[in-house]
Amino acid sequence: MNEKKLFTFDSTLRDGAQGANISFSVEDKLRVIQTLDALGIDFIEAGNPFSNPAEAQFFQRLSGLKLQHAQIVAFGSTRRKGIPPEEDANLASLLAAGTKYVAIFGKSHIRHVTDVLKAAPEENLAMIGESVRFLTEHGKNVVFDAEHFFDGYKADADYAMRALAAAAQAGAEVLCLCDTNGGIFPDEAYEITKAVCDAFPAKTVAIHCHNDGGLAVASSIEAVRAGARQLQGTFLGFGERCGNTNLCTLLCNLQLKRGWECIPPEHLKDIYEAAMTIAETANAAIPANSPYVGMNAFAHKAGMHADGVLKYSSSFEHIDPETIGNKRKFLLSEISGKSAIYEKLKNYFPSLDRGGKEMGAIANALKERALAGYQYEAAEASFVLLVKKILGQYKNSFDLINYKIINEQPAIEGKVASAIVKIRVNGITKIAASDGEGPVHAMDLALRAALADFYPEIARVTLTDFKVRVLDSGKATAAKVRVLITSADSADSWTTVGVSEDVIEASWFALTDSIDYALMKRR
């Protein structure tokens, strides 16, 4: 047996689904399960079959699912007070779920027993033992979740340990220590977990933390140091309140930094893609500053940092981002050095000289545009066009003669604005007009109509996102605004930026950059 093996237990579909704005359809759940299984996660807690008929039906569907690695776990609770196990509907639903493994939670905090459950202390211990024994006698491998264990241990250590003993003596395979309120500190996690491991050397001890104090990963690492061998969490930290232990962060730290094997080593390179898949399936954005898999986890903005990482990567990167499938990024801003700018541009302009005078002109232009309110971190397409102009490589797709926007109230058939655009392409003048649901929408449609005869491929370009930011709110309605427009075709997406005191003009700048970039790609 691998003495450095830790077992991973993912609860994204159960605990994670309790997080705000997180919801999974049946197809979503199947996709998450297949993603986690392919990554090499050991246990996947798929839900509570007793909670509703849909969950019970989902477990029936899972019975025919062929997985490469993971075991599916059904979740429930100990029997209800005053009801024998064989008559308890919750326990019956766990048997009907058809999974080899089940996880049941029970009270381990004396105050929760007396004040919440309204049960006698000995009765609660019987509920735990009888429930575990009933499930094991029916062939189930049982994970016992000791709810509020750490707080319970601090309130009455003897009773908390007796709750674990009741589960262990009845045949529970895993004793899971839950920091249900998410408030313990790492040193407490170590000390209490070590006491449990010393008391139950024949059992696998698991750690299950919530992140209310921002310490879930740190406390889980300390629990492993104390002897815990099963890691519980949700892959991206989804969960109630402040979420659960971020299992992705935890396994990366333990496997890459401490030498434990949490998933098969050959799957480490798949972590970033798995994170993206799960986030997309949950319709949730991964925070940009998330460790390891965030968009900015290996993004460098300061000139000194970018220069350093290019010369010696570990100077500003704690791991090689490609180890887990992520990539290094250089952000464009007024504090970017020439090295970072060059790295960003070298694929667009292979002949660009890193030490040439053009690089100095580009760096100066970036600083000047920043003073005017432009930011290119999220608008790389506009920056490429700017560089083309500096290098004398820019060829405009059309010349604007003028445009006019008319706002109308009340709306006519849902249209509140009209736009007239007059352009010139290769000496030919074209005028087009359109109604829209707003002034920018009308302007976009009118510009496309004017360009359609010259560039029919414009029909394949769609505007997918539109953002406006006020740069100086103190100037109220006279404030300068920054507009970001994201566009896409069948193969790519790109973002452009425009800045002006006039939101229509700022939108025009971003919109025309978007069209220019699309046509530049074609050329």
Average pLDDT on 481-499 reads 90
Q: Is the domain of 98 the same as that of 168?
A: yes
- Lowest-confidence region among 99-103, 113-117, 222-226, 460-464: 460-464
Q: Is the domain of 210 the same as that of 83?
A: yes
Residue 378 lies in a domain: no
Confidence of residue 314 (pLDDT cuts 50, 70, 90): low
- Please check whether residue 365 is in contact with residue 372, taking contact to mean a CB–CB distance below 8 angstroms: no
Q: For residues 353 and 453, which has the higher predicted lDDT (pLDDT)?
A: 453
User: How big is the chain by its Cα radius of gyration, in Å?
Assistant: 29
Angle at 144 between CA 138 and CA 146, to 5 degrees: 150
Confidence of residue 3 (pLDDT cuts 50, 70, 90): confident
**Number of DSSP helices (H) and strands (E) in the chain, helices first:** 17, 16
- Lowest-confidence region among 50-64, 249-263, 420-434: 50-64
Q: Is the domain of 311 the same as that of 444?
A: no
Residue 492 lies in a domain: no
Tell which residue, 125, 104, 105, has the closest CA to residue 113: 125
Q: What is the pLDDT of residue 208?
A: 98
Q: What is the pLDDT of residue 303?
A: 55
Strands 329-330 and 299-300: parallel
Average pLDDT on 490-506 reads 91
Q: What is the pLDDT of residue 307?
A: 56
The CA–CA distances, whole Å, from 38 to 14, 15, 23, 273, 326 equal 19, 21, 22, 11, 18
Which of residues 281, 314, 336 is at a domain's end?
281
Q: Is the domain of 79 the same as that of 11?
A: yes
Within 10 angstroms of residue 339's Cβ, the number of other Cβ atoms is 21
Pull the structure tokens for residue 188: 């407490």
Confidence of residue 474 (pLDDT cuts 50, 70, 90): confident
- Using DSSP, state whether 111 is helix, strand or coil: helix
Q: Which domain holds residue 312?
A: 299-371
Answer positive or negative: Cα dihedral of 211, 141, 22, 65: positive
User: Residue 312: pLDDT above 60?
Assistant: no
Q: 440-459 burial string, b = 16+ CB within 10 Å, else e?
A: bbbbbbbbbbbbeeebeebe
Residue 413 lies in a domain: yes
Q: Is the domain of 74 the same as that of 159?
A: yes
Average pLDDT on 356-361 reads 84
Whole-number average pLDDT of the chain: 90
CA distance 495 to 133: 60
- Please check whether residue 44 is in contact with residue 16, taking contact to mean a CB–CB distance below 8 angstroms: no
Q: Is the domain of 236 the same as that of 106?
A: yes
Place of tokens 């504090």: 335
Residue 385 lies in a domain: no
Q: Is the domain of 163 the same as that of 267?
A: yes
- Please check whether residue 406 is in contact with residue 418, taking contact to mean a CB–CB distance below 8 angstroms: yes
Strands 493-500 and 481-488: antiparallel
Strands 101-107 and 71-77: parallel
User: Residue 412: pLDDT above 80?
Assistant: no
Q: Is the domain of 249 the same as that of 305?
A: no
Residues 6+ apart with CB under 8 A from 410: none
Pull the structure tokens for residue 319: 């791991």
User: Residue 334: pLDDT above 60?
Assistant: no
Average pLDDT on 481-505 reads 91
Q: Is the domain of 276 the same as that of 421?
A: no
Share of the chain above pLDDT 70, in %: 93
Which of residues 407, 437, 454 is at a domain's end?
454
Q: Which 8-state DSSP code applies to residue 116?
A: I
Q: Is the domain of 109 the same as that of 250?
A: yes
Residue 416 lies in a domain: yes
Residue 437 sits in a domain of what CATH number? 3.30.160
Q: Is the domain of 153 the same as that of 261?
A: yes
CA distance 371 to 270: 41
- Region at 74 (left for phi over 0; alpha for psi -120 to 50; beta for the rest): beta
Residue 513 lies in a domain: no
User: Residue 473: pLDDT above 90?
Assistant: no
Q: Is the domain of 203 the same as that of 273?
A: yes
User: Residue 446: pLDDT above 90?
Assistant: yes
- Region at 283 (left for phi over 0; alpha for psi -120 to 50; beta for the rest): left
Which of residues 231, 255, 281 is at a domain's end?
281
Q: What is the pLDDT of residue 416?
A: 84
Confidence of residue 261 (pLDDT cuts 50, 70, 90): very high
Residue 350 lies in a domain: yes
Place of tokens 């019975």: 63
- Lowest-confidence region among 49-63, 125-139, 290-304, 385-399: 290-304
Q: What is the pLDDT of residue 344?
A: 73
Phi, psi of 5 (to 5 degrees): -90, 130
Residue 500 lies in a domain: no
Q: What total of structural domains would you count in the chain?
A: 3
What would the pLDDT profile of 139-185 be if each residue is shown by its tens digit? 999 999 999 999 999 999 999 999 999 999 999 999 999 999 999 99
